Structure 1
Amino acid sequence: MTISHLRSEWAPNITRELLAGTVVALALIPEAIAFSIIAGVDPKVGLYASFCIAVITAIAGGRPAMISAATGAMALVMTALVKQHGLDYLLAATLLTGLFQIIASILKLGNLMRFVSRSVVTGFVNALAILIFLAQMPELLGRGPIVYAMTAAGLAIIYLLPRLTRAVPSPLVTIVVMTAISMYFGLSIRTVGDMGALPSELPFFALPQVPLTLETLKIITPYALTLAMVGLLESLMTAAIIDEMTDTTSDKNRECAGQGLANIVAGCFGGMAGCAMIGQSVINVSSGGRGRLSTLWAGGFLLFLIVVLGPYVAQIPMAALVAVMIMVSVNTFQWRSLKTLLIHPKSSSFVMLGTVAVVVATHDLAKGVLFGVVLSGLFFAHKVTRFFAVASERAGEKRIYRVAGQIFFATAEAFHAAFDFREEEVRQVVIDLSAAHFWDITAINALDRVVLKFRHHDIAVEIIGMNQATATMVERLAVHDKGDGALAAGH
């Protein structure tokens, strides 16, 4: 690995990387505290997790500049476990979550991202932008004119400062300026410190204090599997989004392993499981972060902020962070997708809108993406059926059927219905599969039914033109040709 490659991967521009990571670290604190509250644990559990996960994924992850930490989606999964069994069981589940994610990397499950359509990704991004925006409303609505003015001023700095200079990320300037104003005038508005106490000590290594029994494994395994799935889904989707934003590629299987290792480390240092954060990742990229240094610095500086500068960080007004997160939601939303709703195929638009609706309704990104993937599969299967056809011609007592297209569960019945089993004076049938491909056991079963039904009516059947893949499936799964030599593949 050359020095130039290391530089491009770690720090294309050291100043921009450090400034971007600083903005992310400041924005991570209230979210980590909020997610800890959702999970029912002390704020330090989310803060320590964010530090560990950001640092480890910076080194071991497959997507430079992507921020991973404690997240809301993961916190929601943990709630019942914490309530019923306590923090130590959560930490044990976090360790098992990491192990499952490393196994997913070994099995190369990151490659499954190829099956997520563009419409699902767009729906995921738009839904997330909406959720990020809605999550800011409790900190904005009903908080009084001072909060409204502070938020508006923050947004003005965010969007106007880049017209004057891009030397410093405008979100960072917003946070510093709004904090200074709040402290100077002694404004009575909600601050980061109002969300929960910041820890004053470094995290330390300690394994979860749970019984090493089969019963413990039964308790934590369902939660760990769910956390692993949700975490990988969000991380891989976020990686795909950052790939597009930066016009680069990333190693999805390495990202699975990196997320797994990060969660194991977090569990060993008193942190809860986490994954990639689309909002923070967009902040990082929008602020100029492109390499691993921005992510590493975000994690390291986060720990410095909460342990050393805690009293000052606690004074950051939530209005400043609300302004930053509104900017994130606006930048995240794919506004162009609204223009293309009438241009793109109706099925694609429906998948995108369906994904958005399910995510926003359930506040569960995994359910929304799963809905979108299933819907995309159904639309694709329906589309493929349009390219299926069976033509035939008769020559004396012989009828030749020429099959074209894909034969699978969605076209199997149409394939069977295309044959006339009672045609008079026909004594031989030739089924030409030169332009067809059989995909699954349902298709092979349909072929069996056709052949056996012709034979039941004393009509000889010859199958020709099968490609190698179809012939292999027929040889393994079909029953019509066993022992009578009726099959003639490749003629």
Structure 2
Amino acid sequence: MNLHTLREEWLGNVRGDVLSGLVVALALIPEALAFAVIAGVDPQVALYAAFCIAVVSSIAGGRPAMISAATGAVALLITGLVKDHGVQYLFAAALLAGGLQIVAGLLRLGALMRFVSRSVITGFVNALAILIFMAQLQEFHNAHWSVYALVAGGLAIIYLFPRITRAVPSPLVCIVVLTVLAVWLHLPARTVGDMGMFPDSLPHFALPMVPWTMDTLRIIFPYSLAIAVVGLLESLMTAAIVDDFTDTDSDKNRECRGQGFANIFSGLLGGMPGCAMIGQSVINVKSGGRGRLSTFVAGVFLLILVVFLGPWVRQIPMAALVAVMIMVCISTFSWKSLANLRTHPRSSSVVMLATVVVVVATGNLAIGVGVGVLLSALFFASKVHRMFAVETSTLDEGRARRYAVRGEVFFATSQALVAEFDFKEPVERVILDLEGAHFWDITAVDALDRVVHKFRRHGVAVEVLGLNRASATMVEKFGTHDKGGAAPAAGH
């Protein structure tokens, strides 16, 4: 990375990054406390993780302005480990998960994002917006009328204040104004302090107090693998979304490594593992954050707020943060995708809706995205299958037949290839013209072998022509019908 890029990523938007970082820090606190409850750990474990992961990923990550911290998806994965073996095993699992993510980055697995279709990403975004909104509804359960008034007032500030000035992020104004009103009027609204206790000291480095044996590895490895996979999936998907929001690109493989380093440092500082957070990332971008400084400031401010300014931060009404998160839901949801249901191909709409339904129903982002990717692959294979065809004609007054194969031959079309031939036809010779075909995998090569061998068993001579260079190389390497290989067609 050259000096100009480094300066641009850290100092290109100082004022906007600092202000947006403060907004994100305030929004991270109740989220971290809630995730601590889900994971069954002390609040400081989640708060230390939010600080550490944000700071380290801001330095080592590949997506400027993306916020990473303790997350609900990871919290759900570790409840069993904490309950059965204790928090020290959680710290050890964070170290191993981080190591696995670094390996994934070194193996350049971030490039796998190119196989995630736009429909899956849209479904992921919409599902996240729905889940974030649903999570806010608990604040309205048996709530005093003042809570509704504060949320409505907060939304009014968020959307109307930018018409006056954009010098200060409107979510920050919302939090400050509603806090002052709630304290001044002594409103009976739940506050951040009601979510849990804040730590009263800075984190310190320490190795997890676990026996460093194979038994420990057997305990933590399944959890670490799940944390690594889910964490990378969420982080890479969020990075793609922030790419779209900011119209910039990011280094997905560096992001894999950055998340790994962040989780390792979190485990060494007494924090839980985590990953990128789409909600806070959207808050950051919408509040003007664009550089690495915004993520760094969010982590540092969070630690300062909870350790040194805890008595004041505890007075922030949850209604203020609910208003901010509702803004995130509205901004995150792809409203255009609803109109696109009428115009986009039916397969794309099915993939998007399936991703939304599975994520919302299970609360598991990995399962939903996995279903979306699988459906995308099946629809793609079906589309390619429809483009496959075999044309036939007779030669030499009916003594020979020519089959011209057109399209892609792979596992989805191999059976169709075999089914196109009449092996009992009384001909002396068969010509397989493969100039318009491409063989992609060993299943396709096996299908070609079966066709040739079947004809030969019926006493029919077979001539294979027109294989392009890549297909001929694969047939020569894996085929059995002609170990000498088929000569590539001229000009291929």
Query: Common fold, TM-score beyond 0.5?
Result: yes
Q: Secondary structure at the match of 1:341?
A: helix
2:197 and 2:68 mapped to 1: Cα distance? 22
Q: Secondary structure at the match of 1:47?
A: helix
1:144 and 1:474 mapped to 2: Cα distance? 73
- Counterparts in 2 of 1:251-290, with a 5 A limit? 251-290=251-290
Q: Could you tell me how far 1:394 is from its partner in structure 2?
A: 1.1
Match of 1:407 among 397, 406, 409: 409
Q: Which residue of 2 aligns with 1:69?
A: 69
Q: Which residue of 1 aligns with 2:342?
A: 342
Paired AA for residue 127 in structure 1: A
1:200 and 1:186 mapped to 2: Cα distance? 26
Q: Could you tell me how far 1:11 is from its partner in structure 2?
A: 2.9
Contact 2:144 2:188 in 1 (8 A): no
- Cα distance change, pair 486–367 in 1 and its aligned pair in 2 (3 A): closer
Contact 2:414 2:444 in 1 (8 A): yes
Q: Which moved more, 1:186-195 or 1:104-113?
A: 186-195
Q: Which moved more, 1:8-17 or 1:228-237?
A: 8-17
Q: Secondary structure at the match of 1:342?
A: helix
1:321 and 1:487 mapped to 2: Cα distance? 68
Q: Secondary structure at the match of 2:394?
A: strand
Q: Could you tell me how far 1:145 is from its partner in structure 2?
A: 0.6
Q: Could you tell me how far 1:131 is from its partner in structure 2?
A: 0.3
Give CA-to-partner distance per residue, 1:376-433, whole Å, 9 cap, x none.
Answer: 0000000001111111111112211111100111111111111111222x21111011
Q: Percent identity?
A: 65
Paired AA for residue 420 in structure 1: D
Contact 1:40 1:82 in 2 (8 A): yes
Give CA-to-partner distance per residue, 1:149-203, whole Å, 9 cap, x none.
Answer: 0111111100110111101000000100111111111222110000100011000
Q: Secondary structure at the match of 1:435?
A: strand
1:402 and 1:235 mapped to 2: Cα distance? 47
2:178 and 2:168 mapped to 1: Cα distance? 16
Ranges in structure 2 where 5+ consecutive residues have no aligned partner: none
1:138 and 1:172 mapped to 2: Cα distance? 23
Q: Could you tell me how far 1:2 is from its partner in structure 2?
A: 5.4
Contact 1:63 1:251 in 2 (8 A): yes
Q: Which residue of 2 aligns with 1:459?
A: 460
Q: Which residue of 2 aligns with 1:423?
A: 425
Give CA-to-partner distance per residue, 1:178-235, whole Å, 9 cap, x none.
Answer: 1111111122211000010001100011111001111100000000000000000000
Q: Secondary structure at the match of 1:434?
A: strand
Paired AA for residue 48 in structure 1: Y
2:488 and 2:262 mapped to 1: Cα distance? 53
- Counterparts in 2 of 1:247-326, with a 5 A limit? 247-326=247-326
Q: Which residue of 1 aligns with 2:489?
A: 490
Q: Which residue of 1 aligns with 2:45?
A: 45
2:11 and 2:66 mapped to 1: Cα distance? 13
Q: Secondary structure at the match of 2:315?
A: coil
- Counterparts in 2 of 1:203-218, with a 5 A limit? 203-218=203-218
Q: Could you tell me how far 1:92 is from its partner in structure 2?
A: 0.4
1:463 and 1:490 mapped to 2: Cα distance? 11
- TM-score if structure 2 supplies the norm length? 0.98
Paired AA for residue 339 in structure 1: A
* Stretches (4+) displaced over 3 A: 1-4, 485-491
Q: Which residue of 1 aligns with 2:476?
A: 475
Q: Which moved more, 1:464-473 or 1:371-380?
A: 464-473
Contact 1:35 1:70 in 2 (8 A): yes
Contact 1:192 1:318 in 2 (8 A): yes
Ranges in structure 1 where 5+ consecutive residues have no aligned partner: none
Q: Secondary structure at the match of 1:404?
A: strand
1:393 and 1:486 mapped to 2: Cα distance? 25
Tell me how large the CA RMSD over aligned residues is: 1.1
Alignment pair present for 1:233 and 2:246: no
Aligned pair count? 488
- Cα distance change, pair 17–464 in 1 and its aligned pair in 2 (3 A): same
- Cα distance change, pair 16–486 in 1 and its aligned pair in 2 (3 A): closer
- Counterparts in 2 of 1:94-113, with a 5 A limit? 94-113=94-113
Contact 1:407 1:436 in 2 (8 A): yes
